[in-house]
Each structure stands twice: as structure tokens, then as C-alpha cells.
Amino acid sequence: MKEERAQLKKIYAAFDADTRDLVKGCACTRGCSFCCRQAGSIDITTLEGMAIRIAMNKMPKSRQKTLTKAFRNEIKLREEGKAVPCPFLMKNNACMIYENRPFSCRRIYSAHVCSQDAPPAVSRQVMERADQNIAALQKLDSNGYSGHLSYILYMLSVPAFFKIYTAGEFKPEEIMEFGKAHRIVINRMMG
């Protein structure tokens, strides 16, 4: 798993290097949180979820408990069809897992300041390269899944699923009902 996480970082770094010139002059600045609140689904792979779990485990216990409650609440609200801000978004609009943020967050930027009337404007070239990177992430995490951050982190909190995943096993029947209900996709079937 450690080698896969190193590969994950290489995919992130390659995307950053490949798109650096395309995102010059973007409007996004530290503390901008429009996408964290409004832009939609933060999809991750199970491998990215593992990296996020490791980052969470390094946080103080009180913050871990607060995040667990926030994710439970987010799942409940999502199941009611409501959009909610990312639980990792702090009051000062900073991301508490910025160094470990998933690719969904890394690929988003905007050529202008965003608002309800002006959603992010992203280069088609950047999005095409992002799609290639998503395929690479799914290939790297071939015994895993892709889906919304809250649902993938929830799956990893279930001991039976965690054990299967970390053993490198692949048992999609174990999550079939949950996966269908929450639009979880099987990575090895993508591409």
C-alpha cells in the first residue's frame, strides 16, 4: 500500500507539472472556498481515502471525533439530496488536509472569481488532462472503488471492508447494495 501511495503522489505531481502553464493567472487564492462549498461532488478513489485516513489519524482525537460527526451528518444530508460544504473546510476557509487533498480538489481552479452566477471556468485542456489522470488513479487502485469522499471514507471505516481492501482482495459483492445506492463505481471496470 505504501508504494501505491507513492505512485499516487507522482500522479498528482505530474498533473501539476503538466498543467502549470495552463493555470497561470487563475483566480483561486488561499482561503477561496467556493468549490469546497458549491462546486459539487468531491469524488475520490479508495486509495486516496486511505491517504486521507492516514492524515486524519495524525490529527488530535477531538478533531477526529468532530470530523466523524461531520461526515455522518454530510452523508445524512446527501441522502436527503442536499449539498453541504466539505467537512475538511475550516472556519477560516482553509483545507485541513490540503497536502493530502484528493485529485478532485487538485484539478479544480477557475480563470475568474467564482460566485453563484459565475461557476468555475476551467480550461478544456486541463480537464482533458484531468480525465487522463483520473483513469491513471483508477488503474492504480484496481481493487478499489471511486465515489464521493464521504461514502469512500465511510466504507473504509467498516472493518470488514477495510480488511478486504488492505489485503488487496476484491469482493464487489460485499458493497453492491451500498455502492448502487451511492453511485460507487468499481475502478477495474472503468477506463
**Segment (H or E) for 63:** helix 61-79
Predicted local distance difference test score (pLDDT) of residue 151 = 92
Would you give the distance in Å from CA 118 to the centre of its chain? 23
What's the pLDDT at 159? 94
Provide the pLDDT for residue 83: 78
pLDDT along the chain (191 residues), means of 10: 92 93 83 78 93 95 93 88 87 91 89 85 88 93 92 93 92 89 86 56
Total Cβ atoms within 10 A of residue 146: 23
Cα 84 to Cα 81, 90, 141, distances in angstroms: 10, 13, 27
Instruction: Please tell me the predicted confidence (pLDDT) of residue 97.
Output: 94
DSSP for residue 189: G
The strand pair at 145-148 and 185-186 is best described as: antiparallel
pLDDT at 18: 92
What's the confidence (pLDDT) of residue 191? 56
Residue 185, H or E segment: strand 185-186
Give pTM, 2 decimals.
0.90
The Cα 71–Cα 20 span in angstroms is: 32
